Structure 1
Amino acid sequence: MIATLNITISLAAAFQGHLLRTAGAHSAINMAAELSTSINIKEPRWDQSTFVGRAKHFFTVTDPRNILLSNEQLEHSHKIITDYRQGVVSPGLTEDELWRAKYVFDSAFHPDTGEKMILIGRMSAQVPMNMTITGCMMTFYKTTPAVVLWQWINQSFNAIVNYTNRSGDAPISVSQLGTAYVSATTGAVATALGLNALTKHISPLFGRFVPFAAVAAANCINIPLMRQRELKHGIPITDENDNRLGESTKAAQQAISQVVVSRILMASPGMAIPPFLMNHLEKKAFLKKFPWMSAPIQVGLVGFCLVFATPLCCALFPQKSSMSVSRLEPELQEKIRASHPGVERVYFNKGL
């Protein structure tokens, strides 16, 4: 399993290296003169109006190597970015180093609250954590205790991720966290056990898709419940210059819907492709002779799929999402038109 994880991280590292090499054409110029303070590091390095630009951005954001960074490295990047935003350029800083610091900063600190995020809740932990949990969930799905254990572990992890990557800067109460966690775990376990019972008399191949159905159902429960405060009170909305205009529940509904779709599609390749491969491999002599290899192989297959699915599905919708003022709540529309008559679209962080 350790070897599999290393291979997966190496794949992600290769993509990261390629992206940084292709984006570093101006580094020689930066070495010759002091770095300009006019680079807009509030936005990602690549054009976020295109899917390709968002994909490049998220291949960097989900780079698993970021979880190996020390607190000193994180604080160093934090200082570079904080100073740069105040017009102070670290001596000898190049543009590539600035962008690297920004992505390290973004990988560890919440965009709205500025707090350092829980390690396993960061997007850079998605591939190694999900490949392990999902691989085991799909390997040990036949018995009730195994279903309950791995669905519980998966929803515990999802609860941490959903809380860590929530949109907005409003706190979530312990009771809200507890309700979301218990509801999602119950829903996932009930779905998995119910489908397991239905598939006992049909092809074993269909049984391998039970974990995916349970995960999809749980995402539809877990994410809205974990972010229920946003649905009740709204999330911060701004104009294109980041001037805060208020809080909108309509924006929260759009943001959460997009996240649910992304999460389900993110899980799809890793939970849909390996079942066919494993169903074929387990009929071969190798796995019949070494059945204990089934779990590591399954984890590896899931990890390979997640290396691509995680950033590509994160890129389906812009992180800085937007909507027309005319789609906001009527009272908020009136407030914006009275105080900012020229604003036609509002922007918000959709979360991840």
Structure 2
Amino acid sequence: MLCMVTRAGVATPGLTEDQLWRAKYVCDSAFHPDTGEKVVLIGRMSAQVPMNMTITGCMLTFYRKTPTVVFWQWVNQSFNAIVNYSNRSGDTPISMRQLGTAYVSATTGAVATALGLKSLTKHLPPLAGRFVPFAAVAAANCINIPLMRQRELQVGIPVTDEAGQRLGHSVTAAKQGIVQVVISRVCMAIPAMAIPPVIMNTLEKKDFLKHRPWLGAPLQVGLVGFCLVFATPLCCALFPQKSSIHVTRLEPELRTQIHEQNPSIEVVFYNKGL
């Protein structure tokens, strides 16, 4: 209720300043900044830690058998597809055919990468096999994010002046935003998928876990969650959501259009997505 009131620009009488700011945070996290649509719950950044700790923990636990590798990579990329679509930049509609093609391509790429790397690590130390999920996730992010946001690469994303006045659409800004998101997502996965495997590889050699193998999965999920609590906000903050780009780096047509409207503008802003 507070969120809807804030979006309408009307404050309920009696609200304190802290309550208004709280309402703004809730509103910003629940609604897409460009389309104004309410984002599905698991597509919001607030769902990243609980969802990713479960999925990533299972990927790191069940990495030995091909069926479980395929299943958890599919679950992970399905979740990533929802997140990438929900946090895209711009308000250009995407057809169901484009979404379906992007989803199938990204999921297939992730599974193929995981299985290919898994086969390469058969003759390597056991610890090497534990890093296969991370390599697959990093590669899949480079596939999934651009594919799920391919419409931005075709028609561009809105760029605005400092006051938020829309100046046009830019493919160059879209490319920069997508690269920033890919870097953030890969960095976000590094602590959660690199630290727990080393710890678990040591713990599984101890008698405590040998006698209690059922503790392996929940312990792994807990370690991943602990890492994600810190990595998620830090990596989301690597690049500001309202990013900027110099006018000289934009497409010639858009650059000319902006200079005709306001010659004094040197930097424009855009929503890079998350």
Q: Same fold (TM over 0.5)?
A: yes
Does the residue aligned with 1:200 lie in a helix, a strand or coil?
A: coil
Contact 2:5–2:11 (8 Å) recurs in 1? yes
- Please tell me whether residue 77 in structure 1 is matched to residue 2 in structure 2: yes
List per-residue Cα deviations over 1:124-151 (Å, max 9, x = no partner).
1000000000000000011110110000
How many Å apart are 1:82 and its aligned residue? 2.4
Kept in 2, the 8 Å contact 1:266–1:313? The answer is yes
Which ranges of 4 or more aligned residues in structure 1 deviate by more than 3 Å?
none
Q: Does 1:194 align with 2:119?
A: no
Q: Does 1:134 align with 2:56?
A: yes
Task: Read off the aligned partner of 2:37 and give its amino acid letter.
Answer: E
SS in 2 for 1:106: helix
Match runs of 1:166-315 below 5 Å: 166-315=88-237
What do the CA deviations read for 1:203-228 (whole angstroms, capped 9, x no partner)? 00010000000000000000001100
- Deviation string for 1:42-61 (max 9, x for gaps)? xxxxxxxxxxxxxxxxxxxx
Amino acid corresponding to residue 180 of structure 1 in structure 2 = A
Letter in 1 for 2:98: Q
Q: Which amino acid aligns with 1:159?
A: A
Name structure 2 gaps, 5 residues minimum.
Answer: none
Report the counterpart of residue 102 of structure 1 in structure 2. Answer: 24
Matched residues, number? 274
Residue 292 of structure 1, CA deviation: 1.2
> Which residue is equivalent to 1:319?
241
In structure 1, what is the Cα distance between the partners aligned to 2:252 and 2:34? Answer: 26
Contact residue 50 and residue 225 of structure 2 kept, 8 A: yes
Q: Aligned partners of 2:7 and 2:69: how far apart in 1?
A: 46
Residues 145-160 of structure 1: pairs in structure 2 closer than 5 A: 145-160=67-82
What value does the CA root-mean-square deviation take over the aligned residues?
A: 0.8
Provide Cα deviations, 1:6-35, integer angstroms capped at 9, x if missing partner: xxxxxxxxxxxxxxxxxxxxxxxxxxxxxx
Give 1:89 shift.
2.9
Give 1:91 shift.
Answer: 1.1
Report the residue type matching 2:18 in the other structure: D
Cα deviation 1:302-337 (Å, max 9, x = unaligned): 000000100000000011000000000001100110
| 1:341 matched residue in structure 2 | 263
TM-score when normalising by structure 2? 0.98
In structure 1, the partner of 2:251 is 329
Q: List per-residue Cα deviations over 1:84-143 (Å, max 9, x = no partner).
A: x3xx33211111101100111112111111111111101110000000000000000111
TM-superposition CA deviations, 1:140-195 (whole Å, max 9, x none): 01111011000000000000000000111111111111111111111111111111
Q: Is this contact kept in 2: 1:235–1:249, CA < 8 A? A: yes
**1:224-270 deviations in Å (ceiling 9; x for gaps):** 01100100100000000000000000000000000000000001100
Q: Counterparts of 2:100 and 2:36 in 1: how far apart (Å)?
A: 24
SS of the aligned residue for 1:201 comes to: coil
Give the whole-Å Cα distance in 2 for the aligned partners of 1:260 and 1:250. Answer: 16
SS at match of 2:243: strand
State whether residues 162 and 226 of structure 1, in contact with CA within 8 Å, keep that contact through their aligned partners in structure 2.
yes
Residue in 2 that maps onto 1:28: none
Q: TM-score, normalised by structure 1?
A: 0.77
Residue 238 of structure 1 contacts residue 245 of structure 1 at CA under 8 Å; is this kept in 2?
A: yes
- Identity within the alignment, %: 74
- For 2:199 and 2:80, the matched residues in 1 are separated by 26
Letter of the 2:3 partner, please give it: H
Asked if 2 retains the 8 angstrom alpha-carbon contact of 1:237 and 1:248, the reply is yes
Q: Is there any run of 5+ residues in structure 1 with no aligned partner, and where?
A: 1-75
Alignment correspondent of 1:52 = none
CA drift at 1:342: 1.4
For 1:168, what is the secondary structure of its paired residue?
A: coil
